[in-house]
Amino acid sequence: MKKLCALLLFMFFSLAAWAEPLDINTATAEEIAATMTGVGKAKAEAIVKDREAHGNFKSVDDLKRVKGIKEGILAKNRDKITVKGEAVASPVPAVASPAAATAAPTAATSAGKPQH
């Protein structure tokens, strides 16, 4: 019986280790409380309220702006949480291909001026 319990516990923790980290920018308070060690319902609700009031967290360390979340809690949970949701991509300048540049009419040709 002890071996069976040990095997079941091992299987459970093995599956938990493979689970993808929880995105604190999209998670509900219930999901946060269920995932994070040392975070109950009240702290999880405070995390969601802070996110709604101040915008998405840019890093896991931003959780420290929530009352009651200190480095110790973050250290226990760094591998369980992430910040992905609604990430803003940095603008990439558009680069025209040489073919597009030669095919597109210029202001000079459309105004009736001769091409050289």
Q: Give the CATH number of the domain where residue 64 resides.
A: 1.10.150.320
Task: Please calculate the CA angle 64-43-10 and round it to the nearest 5 degrees.
Answer: 95
Is the Cβ–Cβ distance between 115 and 108 less than 8 Å?
Answer: yes
Task: Please calculate the CA angle 3-5-8 and round it to the nearest 5 degrees.
Answer: 110
Q: CA–CA separation, 112 vs 106, rounded Å?
A: 10
Is the Cβ–Cβ distance between 64 and 70 less than 8 Å?
Answer: yes
Q: Which residue has the higher pLDDT, 55 or 99?
A: 55
Q: Determine, yes or no, domain membership for 110.
A: no
Q: Determine, yes or no, domain membership for 52.
A: yes
pLDDT beyond 50 at 88: no
Q: Residue 81 in 3-state DSSP? A: strand
Domain residues for the domain of 55 are 21-86
Q: Determine, yes or no, domain membership for 34.
A: yes
In this prediction, residue 23 carries a pLDDT of 97
Over residues 11-31, mean pLDDT: 80
* Tokens 């202001």 belong to residue: 107
pLDDT band, residue 11 (cuts 50/70/90): low
Number of domains within the chain: 1
Q: Determine, yes or no, domain membership for 68.
A: yes
In this prediction, residue 91 carries a pLDDT of 40
pTM assigned to the model: 0.59
Q: Determine, yes or no, domain membership for 91.
A: no
Is the Cβ–Cβ distance between 71 and 63 less than 8 Å?
Answer: no
Q: What's the chain's length in residues?
A: 116
